[in-house]
Structure 1
Amino acid sequence: MKKVFNRHQLTALFGFCLVISFLFSPSLRAQEEAAVAEAEQTEAAEAGGEGPCGPGDVAKGKQLFNQNCAACHALNRKMTGPALANAATRLIEEEGLDCDWIYSWIKNSPGMIASGDAYANRIYEEYNQAAMTAFPTLSDQDINDIIAYTEAPPPAPVAAATPAAGAGEEAGSGGVSNELLLGALALVFALLVMMLILVNQTLRRIAEANGVVLEREKAEKRLPIWKAFAQNQFLVLVTAILLLLSSAYFAYGWMMQVGVNQGYAPIQPIHYSHKIHAGDNKIECKYCHSSARVSKHSGIPSLNICMNCHKSIYEYKGNPEGPSAEDLANGYTNEFYTNEIKKLYKAVGWDEENQKYTGESQPVEWVRIHNLPDFAYFNHAQHVSVGNIECQTCHGPVEEMEIMYQYSPLTMGWCINCHRETNVQMEGNEYYDKIHQELAKKYGVEKVTAAQMGGLECGKCHY
């Protein structure tokens, strides 16, 4: 007979599982200490600071820096302009300048250069004879706030709470780890299984004590199902007909999908997020795909278009609300996007350190997504500029796509349905005045569709 756990053994097992679950959960006290330390650092960073030119508000200085300076300067790296961390202290202690010079330079740098100031002209020559933008609207106190921000030491890194061996990351804002929850669920499941085993054994012992013999009923011998099926001629005939019809249906559906690539989303050599550019940053589609206004093709933007912004945007700092759980699951972190920007720099031959092109560029082999057959004619300019069709009509919610994919089927039937349902915008277009009058009289309607304008003629798309 199998051994059954008694009450004391079950109590010991429960205690052991509880101890193990707590050992493998992160320390709540360590988490609280890390949160307190982070709050103290944040409070210290937002407090006022004493710069070399007077007191300033660090928080206000950060806001002013992001509004006026961040396009060309960073704190700890050279961009279009020099790094600004402790810049005021360096100018005063190493170059022998004073605060009045700093105020004048920020408010009117071209005037300082024109006046013949030695250091102003030295900076002008060093940075490719590009004068810094003048900021005459900034007051001396505003400049002191910016200086206080650039002179403020960066917050010390907070030591992360060290979890016990095998522990994972925190589950959320509640302070309870995933491991603790999983451990509790596993413990409950194990107890339920143990209780079922004990109940089963107890019932069997009771049945044996009362002389009840537990035996399985012998299965009745039946004809194998395949023999029964083969002997039923009507069932065989119906099944054959159903199989033939189903095969024809699926064969037709498969053949109708040849050349239809709806949902196609290839991986590109440089990851480009339409969600960030067109969605978060509100960049208009036709800024990058400018040829869609005047050409048959929308065009693939050159990398120089990318560098218009990415000369200054050298890293991705993320959405202020933080990455979503889906983005984290797919590996779309700030570091991931920053690495993609580095790929762009390598392709165009951009030297980050010296802020200039090296001339050593590399071609980027983009993978085409939307591809019409050669016998089908489509003109982007006709639809975008004349028809005023929005890009999302055919390409879907591009501003929500992390990876660009083919949204519409792009089949002939899909195009014909659009021509039948879309009214031609004739208001304010003198070219259509006479045509509109004749077609409105012919069809007896106020609005004329693209189909009524000849949008169903074969020669319009096939030539």
Structure 2
Amino acid sequence: MKKVLYRHLLSKVLGFSLLLFSISFYAQEEAAPTEEVVAEESADTSGGDPVKGKQLFNQNCAACHALNRKMTGPALANVETRLMEDEGLDKEWLYAWIKNSPGMISAGDPYANKIYAEYNQAAMTAFPTLSNQDIDDILAYTAAPPPAPAAATAADTAATGSTDSSGISNEILLGALAMIFGLLVVMLILVNKTLRRIAEANGVVLEKEKAEKRVPIWKAFARNQFLVLVSVIFLLLASAYFAYGWMMQIGVDQGYAPVQPIHYSHKIHAGDNKIECKYCHSSARVSKHSGIPSLNVCMNCHKSIYEYKGNPEGPSAEDLANGYTNEFYTGEIKKLYKAVGWDEENQRYTGETQPVEWVRIHNLPDFAYFNHSQHVSVAGIECQTCHGPVEEMEIMYQYAPLTMGWCINCHRETNIQVEGNAYYEAIHAELSKKYGVDKLTAAMMGGLECGKCHY
């Protein structure tokens, strides 16, 4: 009988596996380009700066366009390449289209009229203030979005899970584990074959098990009426649950943060400079609506504040990552001057104004009545109760869900400020007798009656 040298066989297999792992590891290390190289190549071939392009895209394009999905306008990922290959259009056409799209439509440009007809005959907003370099930067961003900053903290690295402490990427580790697993399978097959040879050499007969005829699982399931009934009931209940949850989210815009035509930082105005909310939203004291302040309220300060100098210690790493530099905020002040027609050099109004189309954030249904003056002036509710920590928001967003249940819970839990509030003195005297309590909530005052909030 022939002897099988197991140690010799195992040493060969292990040695071969280590050799393959070393070759694959060093090949991936040398072949994988660094983020800096990729960023440099994309910047060299794009003809613009993708970092600046992202900022310009968010300011001017993001309201109607996304990179990879159709919105009000078409998706803009690789738009320059697509137009060149599919339509035979060059970059000069893009310059003309972005700066004066209505003019190209009226001039009879074929592709301009094709886009105009495809998107419900709604002409794209013209951007004559964008230079060719600005458009090149935007096209560079749409062709290759800028990579993440190279300087990442250890906490960020651990959170993303892209690399371990030794710098080896997860892809390499997974590949090595898959290779080791495959080698183990091969070793088990070889050991099985070797043991079978030994058994045959010793005259051992290995009987093959007779395969039992099994019923397919779907047939067994279909024959069991109880399981079928339970499964159908479960699927119906689950479908009803998810359908109810989806329908309850209709009209709930919590977290909605649109891009405004002029970037306004509540963090700087209400946070750093401690400007009171009701200085700008003065109508909240006396009106149903809080109102959007007119631009001349902004000019009360910005006639003199013509540039943003920031904090003495400089912008934070998060602000730099988002493009919120001193130059960015100064550029937004220039947009304000252009909108109001302010001649900065001669310190006078030119009369050439442009309306600013602010995007509304908080929007209640038409059948719901809400009065700001009743809550602000009478009840003394702070703005942050409904609008959240506005003084910390760089971009304003809807903090609360503003649903009926959310309002009712507030009415049930909020105590009326009776002390020093002449509006409630007589009411408090009567209701305290009725309920026998010292503290009254808005619900006790009729805050749960349907007619209070619905016409």
Q: Is the 2:340–2:353 Cα contact (8 Å) retained in structure 1?
A: yes
Q: Is the 1:423–1:448 Cα contact (8 Å) retained in structure 2?
A: yes
Cα distance in structure 2, aligned partners of 1:8 and 1:254: 53
Show the counterpart of 2:326.
334
Cα distance in structure 2, aligned partners of 1:203 and 1:338: 69
2:388 to 378, 388, 396: 396
Q: Does 1:349 align with 2:341?
A: yes
Return the offset for 1:263: 2.3
Write out aligned runs for 1:18-417 (5 A).
Answer: 169-171=150-152, 189=173, 222-417=214-409
Write out aligned runs for 1:443-462 (5 A).
Answer: 443-462=435-454
Distance 1:204 1:405, change over 3 A: same
Cα distance in structure 2, aligned partners of 1:396 and 1:183: 41
Return the offset for 1:425: 1.5
Cα distance in structure 1, aligned partners of 2:35 and 2:453: 65
Cα distance in structure 2, aligned partners of 1:388 and 1:407: 19
Distance 1:10 1:307, change over 3 A: same
Q: Is the 1:24–1:179 Cα contact (8 Å) retained in structure 2?
A: no
Show the counterpart of 2:104.
none
Cα distance in structure 2, aligned partners of 1:219 and 1:318: 79
1:236-278: CA deviation from partner (whole Å, max 9, x where unpaired): 1111111222222233333333333222222222222222222
Identity of aligned residues (%): 73
Q: Does 1:442 align with 2:434?
A: yes
1:48-77: CA deviation from partner (whole Å, max 9, x where unpaired): xxxxxxxxxxxxxxxxxxxxxxxxxxxxxx
Distance 1:225 1:361, change over 3 A: farther
Cα distance in structure 1, aligned partners of 2:432 and 2:443: 13
2:221 partner SS: helix
Return the offset for 1:343: 2.1
Partner AA of 1:366 in structure 2: W
Cα distance in structure 1, aligned partners of 2:253 and 2:22: 61
Cα distance in structure 2, aligned partners of 1:446 and 1:206: 85
Cα distance in structure 2, aligned partners of 1:288 and 1:250: 42
The size of the alignment, in residue pairs, is: 319
Distance 1:17 1:317, change over 3 A: farther
Show the counterpart of 2:425.
433
Distance 1:19 1:368, change over 3 A: closer
Q: Is the 1:426–1:432 Cα contact (8 Å) retained in structure 2?
A: yes
Cα distance in structure 1, aligned partners of 2:397 and 2:246: 21
Return the offset for 1:205: 7.2
1:363-392: CA deviation from partner (whole Å, max 9, x where unpaired): 111111111222222111111111110001
- TM-score when normalising by structure 2: 0.57
- TM-score when normalising by structure 1: 0.56
Partner AA of 2:337 in structure 1: Y
Distance 1:200 1:324, change over 3 A: farther
Show the counterpart of 2:76.
none
Partner AA of 2:269 in structure 1: H
Structure 2 portions without partners, runs of 5+ = 1-11, 37-146, 155-161, 199-208
Distance 1:222 1:320, change over 3 A: farther
Distance 1:224 1:398, change over 3 A: farther
Cα distance in structure 2, aligned partners of 1:437 and 1:9: 89
Q: Is the 1:395–1:408 Cα contact (8 Å) retained in structure 2?
A: yes
Cα distance in structure 1, aligned partners of 2:380 and 2:197: 85
Cα distance in structure 2, aligned partners of 1:439 and 1:385: 22
1:235 partner SS: helix
Cα distance in structure 1, aligned partners of 2:236 and 2:35: 60
Q: Is the 1:25–1:180 Cα contact (8 Å) retained in structure 2?
A: no
Show the counterpart of 1:142.
none
Q: Is the 1:315–1:341 Cα contact (8 Å) retained in structure 2?
A: yes
Higher CA-based Rg: 1
Return the offset for 1:347: 1.4
Structure 1 portions without partners, runs of 5+ = 27-165
Show the counterpart of 1:151.
none
Distance 1:9 1:430, change over 3 A: closer
